[in-house]
Amino acid sequence: MSPIGQLAAVTLDAPDPKALAEFYSAVTGYQTLFASEDFAYIGTADGSSRIGFQRVESLKQPTWPGDDKQMHLDFSVSDLDESVERLTSLGATKPDHQPGGEKWVVLIDPAGHPFCVTTMA
């Protein structure tokens, strides 16, 4: 069966889309493709991989751990400890609850979204 469509982007809600786009641009190395007060895109130069950020003034931050998170991103890294140190210096926080052992670490981005870094690529 042929696909109906292709994934164009994953979009995260944020009270400040430009600031969250800058954070994830530093995480991924993606460049800014578009930025306004209400929406921002970062992605690869050819646009084949994109992350969007849309303004939601009344964003209710998910809790970790908790049932109210909707989704999260996972990033493959070569050195877990070094990556966590770099990410926290950019504004991520590391919650106490860490179910991943030595294989992955849960972090919280500046807008409150959980995301993971892992060596299990």
Overall pTM > 0.95: no
Map out the domains of the chain as residue ranges: 8-57, 64-121
Residue 10: Cβ within 10 Å count = 11
Strands (E), 4-113: 10-14, 31-35, 39-43, 50-55, 73-76, 104-108
Q: What angle do CA 117, 89, 33 make, to 5 degrees?
A: 70
pLDDT at 67: 66
User: Please, what is the average pLDDT of the chain?
Assistant: 90
Q: Is the pLDDT of residue 91 over 90?
A: yes
Residue type, 85: E
Q: Would the CATH topology of 8-57 be identical to that of 64-121?
A: yes
Please name the CATH architecture into which domain 8-57 falls. Roll (3.10)
Task: Please state, for a pLDDT cut of 90, what percent of the chain lies above it.
Answer: 66
Taking the alpha carbons at both ends of the chain, their separation in whole angstroms is: 28
**Does CATH place domain 64-121 in 3.40.50.80?**
no
Could you report the per-residue pLDDT of 23-76, keeping only the tens digit for each? 999 999 999 999 999 999 999 999 889 999 999 988 777 777 766 656 789 999
Distance in angstroms (rounded) separating the CA atoms of residues 68 and 80: 26
